[in-house]
Amino acid sequence: MSLLQFVVIVAAVVFILFGIDLYKRKKMNALHFIVFFLWWGLVILFALDQHLLNDFGGFFGIARGADLLVYIALIFLFYFYFDLLNKHTKDRFQLTRLISQDAIRKGYLTNQEQIKASGSSDFKDQFVFAIRVYNEEAKIGEVIDEIIANGFSKIVLANDGSTDNTLQIMEKKKRQYPDALIIILSHTINRGWGAANQTGFNFVKKYGDEMKVRWLVTYDADGQMDIKDMDLFIKHIKQDEKLGLDLEDKKPDIYLGSRFVHGAKVDNIPALRKIILSIARVVTKFFYGTNTSDPHNGYRVISLNALRKFTLTADGMHYANELNEQIRGNKMKYTEIPVHIRYTSYSLWKGQKNSNSLRLAMEMIYKKIFFR
């Protein structure tokens, strides 16, 4: 027996012992243990008899048995990689869920009396704005001012672990507008755009009736959305509500903002961003069957009934794909509304980077095919 054979056999035995220990501690399931045990058993067998390894490879039409082991190892490597990635993703989702629940609990306790006292005397009181916020000290104050100045008084701010003065500015605005219902939900650590939306959505799903709201508006904190577009959203909602109860099943559940329908206006959109958004439209149709002109537009008005059908899990921008998938899966009716989006150097710096598009595409493929 050569020194290499001896080292391989000893290493295989050590890994088998590791596998037994992991199985006893329930760190791997029965299937993983069987595959793990058989693999290292074969390594020992082939190390003892190299001719047997070549014969085994020849059965599969491969001249060198060692090459076959490499191919098998690569297959198992990919399998265990995705298995570990799934476990890591689930752990990340669980962490986000706990942080989100804590933010919702504290947010409700802090604002409980104000929530119960909130009214809906004006039509605009039936809308609550959900805004995800991360390090937006330069713009969040202006965004809140703009919303309040246009007659809306209910805002849920999901502060995603901001490290600048964002929280202090939001608290200042809350004191500045004591008659408005401004609720701040703070994550203890940054979790991502999707996680912040998840917190805002879940708060309104749980307490929307107490807040006396019927519609949730998803809105950005970077100033690129135009609050005056809400006039058109409201116009369409009122027109659809005039259809009456006989046409209840035909009324939209969601009003989706779009940069690419007639009447829309977009300031200073980079050419590359426009191309990426066009590709996203095709990919969304292919993967999720949702035929929208602007699937990644964050300006939406969602009915409370429809909102309660959504379940967000993604921490990052993949949440938009989850929404599109669930719109299709729940057979929700939607109407696209032209909106005015204002791209500035600040919003381009703060928003989704073009370089992240490939990462988003890979996450979409992973979630759609491999994640279980």
Q: pLDDT averaged over the chain? A: 86
d(CA 325, CA 319): 10
Of 16-25, 202-211, 223-232, give the lowest mean pLDDT range: 16-25
Rounded to an integer, the average pLDDT of 105-128 is 93
Tokens standing for 283?
A: 């990919």
Provide the pLDDT for residue 34.
80
d(CA 49, CA 44): 9
Q: In the predicted model, is pLDDT for residue 313 greater than 80? A: yes
Q: 22 or 351, which is more confident?
A: 22
Backbone angles phi, psi at 65, to 5 degrees: -60, -30
Tell me the per-residue pLDDT of 50-91, one tens digit each, with 9 for 90 and over: 677 777 667 666 666 666 666 667 777 777 788 888 888 889
Provide the pLDDT for residue 68.
61
**Closest C-alpha among 294, 149, 312, 136 to residue 224:** 136
Alpha carbon distances (Å) from 64 to 68, 102, 169: 7, 58, 68
Every domain of the chain with CATH number 3.90.550.10 lies at 111-370
Single-letter residue type at 199:
T
Provide the pLDDT for residue 51.
75
Annotation: CATH topology of 111-370:
Spore Coat Polysaccharide Biosynthesis Protein SpsA; Chain A (3.90.550)
Of 85-89, 125-129, 168-172, give the lowest mean pLDDT range: 85-89
- Res. 238 pLDDT band, cuts 50 70 90: very high
Task: Classify residue 146 by burial, with Cβ atoms within 10 Å: 0-12, 13-18, 19+.
Answer: middle
Backbone angles phi, psi at 177, to 5 degrees: -120, 75
- Res. 108 pLDDT band, cuts 50 70 90: very high
Which is it for strands 181-186 and 254-258: parallel, antiparallel or unpaired? unpaired
Of 155-169, 217-231, 277-291, give the lowest mean pLDDT range: 277-291
Q: What is the pTM of this model?
A: 0.80
- Res. 30 pLDDT band, cuts 50 70 90: confident
